[in-house]
Amino acid sequence: MSRQTYREPNGRWGVKGVNWAEIPDRLYGALYKLRRYEDLCEEPIVVERAIAATDETTWVRVDSEHHVWGCKNCGKLHKFETDGPIENGFACCPYCGFKITHTEGDEDEPA
């Protein structure tokens, strides 16, 4: 399957067959996500890890008040609106591609 998005040398990007002037503003976000997804899938290491799914990581709560969590493998931080990575549908780290198998930091939360 070929890319549906493209990037020009000057940094501008677009989607094949889509005229920006003819689409609703709210659709821009979805098309941006498509471009980011296609960019991510071009990085061989991320694709290899996703296919193998043998590399695992643990995410740790860094800041309870602001719902900030971090990946133990790559060290990247992520802020959620509420809860943690599993409750927000994260199966793998969006930064390193490792499968999330454990989370640490939920123990102090009331049941």
CA dist 72 and 84 (Å) reads 14
User: Residue 110 has what pLDDT?
Assistant: 41
The residue type at 105? G
Map out the domains of the chain as residue ranges.
5-42, 53-104
User: Residue 54 has what pLDDT?
Assistant: 61
CA dist 39 and 37 (Å) reads 5
Average pLDDT for the chain? 82
**Which has more confidence, 57 or 2?**
57
Q: What are phi and psi of 12, to 5 degrees?
A: -65, 150
Q: What are phi and psi of 40, to 5 degrees?
A: -60, -40
Per the listing, tokens 């939360």 go with 109
Say whether pLDDT at 48 is over 70. Answer: no
Confidence of residue 108 (pLDDT cuts 50, 70, 90): very low
- Average pLDDT of the residues in 60-87: 92
CA nearest to 76, candidates 92, 93, 55, 91: 93
